[in-house]
Amino acid sequence: MELNITSYCRIKNKSIFVNGKELSIPKEDVPSYFFADVYKQLEINYPKFHKMDNLSKLGIIATEAALKENDFLRRNSLEETAILLANKASSLDTDRNYQNTINNKDQYLPSPAIFVYTLPNIVIGEIAIKHKITGENAFFVCDSFDAQLLVNQAQISLTQQGTTAAICGWVDYDNGMADALIYLVEKASDSIKNINFNPLNEAILNQFYK
């Protein structure tokens, strides 16, 4: 089956590239400030964003950037759009924060607001909620960016009846380092013939991720 990437966003530390072009964002030292700056520049306007952990913030801004000025969500059915993500650190960055709230018996303050983010697939939930996307979900965890796994899983997912498009990619946040590549996957059709797209394959993913 021929699958295509109709838009993508790469975030590496404090730089963000949308379809290969870098967005001009002030170079902040703190990742959460960088996320906030991107949020402002992309005019995301979604107050819940500020309550999210860094992994979910990263996933949301990368997805919003890929979706911006793109008709992906209008071309495709929200019920038939899958969200398939992967990373290396799972939710460990937030896990460590949560563990700090319970390490000390005298300052024992387990917080449900932090605990809920100690699962990597919460970022899938946040993207799904923001756009009412109800298709299939999967979160994989692997040693390093794995183009082969990502291509295979997208192929398998889009072979299923009831899945016609997908938001896919890599979203990793660990020890203050942000590393994401989010891309939109669609089947070849007349509706995308007038836009720029790339075939979904390992070489392209590795080139985008580089």
Partner 1 sequence: MEIFTSYHNIISPLGFTTKENHSALLKDQLGVKPHNLGKLNECFCLSVIDEQKINDAYGKIKNAILFTKLEKLSILSIQDVLIQSGISLSDPKTLLIYSTTKGNIDLLDNSVKHSFPMERTYLPVMANAIGKYFNATNKPLVLSNACISGLLAIITAQRMIKAGPYDNIIVCGGDLVTEFTVSGFKSFNALSTEPCMPFDAKRKGINLGEAVSTILITKNKLAPTSMKIVSGASANDANHISGPSRTGDGLFKAVSQTLQGNKLKIDTINAHGTATPYNDEMESIAFERVGLTDSPVNSLKGYYGHTLGAAGVLETVLTIEAAHQNQLIKSGGYSEKGVSGNIQIINKHETRNIQTFLKTASGFGGCNAAALFVK
**Which of 33, 140 has the CB closer to partner 1?**
140
CB of 185 to partner 1, least distance (A): 16
Residue closer to partner 1, measured from CB, 19 or 153: 153
Tell me how far, at minimum, the Cβ of 41 lies from partner 1, in Å: 25
Give 16 or 178: the residue with its C-beta nearer to partner 1.
178
Asked if residue 7 lies in contact with residue 76, where contact means CB atoms within 8 angstroms, the answer is no
Query: Could you please report the per-residue DSSP string of 71-94?
Result: -HHHHS-GGGEEEEEEESSTTHHH
Cα 180 from chain centroid? 7
The label of the residue with tokens 């979203």 reads 171
Residue ranges in contact with partner 1 by CB under 8 A: 78-79, 83, 88-90, 92, 95-96, 98-99, 102-103, 105, 108, 110-112, 115-116, 118-122, 124-126, 128-129, 131-143, 149, 152, 155-156, 159-162
Pick 120 or 169: Cβ nearer partner 1: 120
SS3 124: helix
Output the smallest distance, CB 121 to partner 1, in A.
Answer: 4
- 3-state SS, residue 50: helix
Please say which residue, 115 or 197, places its beta carbon nearer to partner 1: 115
CB of 142 to partner 1, least distance (A): 5
Q: In angstroms, rounded to a whole number, what is the distance separating the alpha carbons of residues 107 and 195?
A: 55
Q: Tell me which residue has tokens 């038939």.
A: 80
Q: Which tokens in the block code for residue 174?
A: 């660990």
**Partners of 182 in the β-ladder:** 9, 169
